[in-house]
Amino acid sequence: MDFKKIPKAVIERIPLYLNCLDKLNSNNIETTSSKQIADEIGLGEVQVRKDLNLISGNGKPKIGYKVVDLQKDLQKTIRNSEKTNFIIVGCGKIGEALANYNEFVNHNFALIGLFDNNKSKIGKRILDLEILDEKKLTTFCTQNHIDIGIIAVPCESAQKVCDDLITSGVKGILNFTNAKLNVDTNISVRNVDIVSLLTMIAIEINE
């Protein structure tokens, strides 16, 4: 929907910039420079400058960047609307841990639905949000605007849940199973698999 396509590599860094700016903000720092940001997050300053120029273009020679302006420009890449709505499917250990995390609202993400297919879980609440029957998933998603679905069900059901989410209009998936999800290219999928992460670390420390 945005006019300029943001390179994959830059997308990976935007959360770092946002984090850094949050920190500067809470320290009441109003103006910053590519050097300061680069040092803080451990990147090269030229790279930071190039990224920020692409995303914001509001740097001023000799002065640098206004922190709040930069935050606004970065935010624009993330969303058009007020909030990004997401749901969690699967309220086992991982799903529950995620649902209890209360930092979402500070970053304009809104957790608006929890689902499980286990009778003993349905009807319970996590931080005031009721766990709904997974059967209601597609209805819920079509009736509410859901941007992202988090999949935290057992591996075997992951593809089914994924298909249901996409059929109901969800455009992004965060997959906590180690299933390889088959999706159309217009859907954004990220995977978090602990064994894969440990494997990559193990390779790096073995070199």
Partner DNA sequence: TAGATTGTTAATCGATTAACAATC
Choice between 61 and 101, CB closer to a copy of itself: 101
H or E element in which residue 138 lies: helix 137-143
Q: Does 195 bind a copy of itself (CB under 8 A)?
A: yes
Q: Return the residue of 14, 40, 49, 181 that touches DNA, per CB under 7 A.
A: 49
Given the rule CB under 7 A, which of 56-64, 148-156, 162-170, 195-203 is the region that contacts DNA? 56-64
Structure-token pair, residue 65: 């960047």
19 binds, among DNA, a copy of itself, none (CB under 5 to 8 A by kind): a copy of itself
Q: How far apart are CA 100 and CA 114, in angstroms?
A: 11
Q: Does 118 bind a copy of itself (CB under 8 A)?
A: no
Residues contacting 148, CB < 8 A, separation 6+: 84, 85, 86, 87, 170, 171, 172, 173, 174
H or E element in which residue 40 lies: helix 34-41
Three-state secondary structure call for residue 99 = helix
Where on the chain is the footprint of a copy of itself (CB under 8 A)? 1-2, 5-6, 11-12, 14-16, 18-19, 40-42, 77-80, 84, 86, 92-94, 96-98, 100-101, 103-104, 107, 109, 147-148, 171-174, 178, 180, 182, 188, 190, 192-207
